[in-house]
């Protein structure tokens, strides 16, 4: 069974860097049919796409965040990571990792349970 699990600090100070890891189990992170993604959800709001990374390390980022975002892939350790720099209270959200599957059809088929990150001093 394929599972994704987010981990990282639940509290980040303003101006610091938010760092999260998504551990993938039951599937190869090297799969050519997968884009490993980060999506966040502000309290009581909708889903905001942050960015993704392919098996080869290619990335796309949300234009509104790309100056602060880095997504990386550790194929040897079957996890991928998110770094968001210079955070403010507006970055307080539940952060999800997800897999965008590009098989015969395309969709987000797997999601982590989500982790709440609060930005506060």
Partner 1 sequence: IVMAQSPVTLSVSPGERATLSCRASQTVNRNLAWYQQKPGQAPRLLIYGASTRATGIPARFSGSGSGTEFTLTISSLQSEDFAVYYCQQYNNWPPDSFGQGTKLEIK
Binding test (CB under 8 A) with partner 1, winner from 48, 55, 68, 78: 48
Instruction: Give the nearer residue to partner 1 in terms of CB position, either 46 or 121.
Output: 46
Binding test (CB under 8 A) with partner 1, winner from 49, 68, 70, 72: 49
Question: In the stretch 58-97, what mask flags binding to partner 1 with x, by CB under 8 A?
Answer: --x-x---------------------------------x-
Q: CB atoms < 10 A from the CB of 46, how many?
A: 6
Q: What is the 3-state secondary structure (H, E, C) of the chain?
A: CCEEEEECCCEECCCCCEEEEEEEECCCCCCCCEEEEEEEECCCCCEEEEEEEECCCCEEECCCCCCCEEEEEECCCCEEEEEECCCCHHHCEEEEEEEEEECCCEEEEEECCCEEEEECC
Q: Which stretch binds partner 1 (CB under 8 A): 25-33, 67-75, 80-88, 101-109?
A: 101-109
Q: Which stretch binds partner 1 (CB under 8 A): 7-15, 17-25, 67-75, 107-115?
A: 107-115
- The reply to whether 112 sits near partner 1 by the rule CB under 8 A is yes
């Amino acid at each position: 069974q394929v599972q994704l699990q987010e981990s990282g600090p639940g509290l980040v100070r303003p101006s610091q860097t938010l760092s999260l890891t998504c551990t993938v189990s039951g599937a190869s992170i090297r799969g050519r049919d997968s884009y490993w993604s980060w999506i966040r959800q502000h309290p009581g709001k909708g889903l905001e796409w942050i960015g993704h990374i392919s098996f080869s390390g290619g990335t796309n980022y949300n234009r509104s965040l790309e100056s602060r975002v880095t997504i990386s892939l550790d194929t040897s350790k079957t996890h991928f990571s998110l770094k968001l720099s210079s955070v403010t209270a507006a970055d307080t959200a539940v952060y999800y990792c997800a897999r965008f599957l590009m098989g015969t059809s395309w969709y987000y088929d797997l999601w982590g349970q989500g982790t709440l990150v609060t930005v506060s001093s």
